[in-house]
Amino acid sequence: MSEGFDPVKIGIVSVSDRASSGVYVDKGLPALKDWLTRALRNPITFEERLIPDEQAGISATLIELVDAGCCLVLTTGGTGPALRDVTPEATLAVAHKHMPGFGEQMRQISLKFVPTAIMSRQVAVIRGQSLILNLPGQPKAIAETLEGLKNEAGESVVPGIFTAVPYCIDLIGGPYLETKGEVCKAFRPKNAIRAPKQA
């Protein structure tokens, strides 16, 4: 299935005091792995981290994953207004570029479900040749944010943020990500589309 597609390394980080201390089972990392495995044709190596809501520790983890060669780093949790929610601050602290459109679109998707989406503070940044995205904490919201919303016929009504991720990674010099159209169709200009490599 994955022949002819670039292997990719993706960092996934669940930020939660309680899950990282064993109070309850983390659901963020499995949700991220499940969706990415369904959405991408590339062979994926995951770098997983389950860490507490500590700003310095989150920043250090993001730097570590970028330095380890992750072209994409996805975080889940810690993006609300609560006192312990510091994932956006930790993410912005390691940014070379801020990509505000991703956060704006995430809130647009979430607002279709809950009015409190205006309190979510997800951000997206580029560090070196890596894209870092903060995602919501709930598994259902993770999938909706990445995939977008479809009507009963399966047609896209509100694009998910992952539609733009592969081309963004192209532009910063990362590997060529190929999505499965039935899950999420990546958008690229015609001149940026490549044929799969021949084995």
| Helix (H) or strand (E) segment spanning residue 48 | strand 44-51
pLDDT for res 1: 45
Supply 193's token pair: 């589309």
Q: Quick: pLDDT tens for 82-118.
A: 999 999 999 999 999 999 999 999 999 999 999 999 9
Report the share of the chain in percent with pLDDT over 90.
89
pLDDT for res 155: 80
What confidence tier does 2 reach under pLDDT thresholds 50, 70, 90? low
* Average pLDDT over every residue of 30-46: 97
Q: Taking the model in full, what pTM does it have?
A: 0.95
Task: Tell me how far apart the alpha carbons of residues 11 and 13 are, in angstroms, rounded to a whole number.
Answer: 7
What domain range includes position 89?
8-192
**Domain tally for the chain?**
1
100, part of any domain: yes
* Average pLDDT over every residue of 2-21: 91
What confidence tier does 199 reach under pLDDT thresholds 50, 70, 90? low
- Please choose, from the candidates 134, 17, 125, 130, the residue with its C-alpha nearest in 3D space to the C-alpha of residue 64: 130
45, part of any domain: yes
198, part of any domain: no
Would you say 98 and 123 are in contact if contact means Cβ atoms under 8 Å apart?
yes
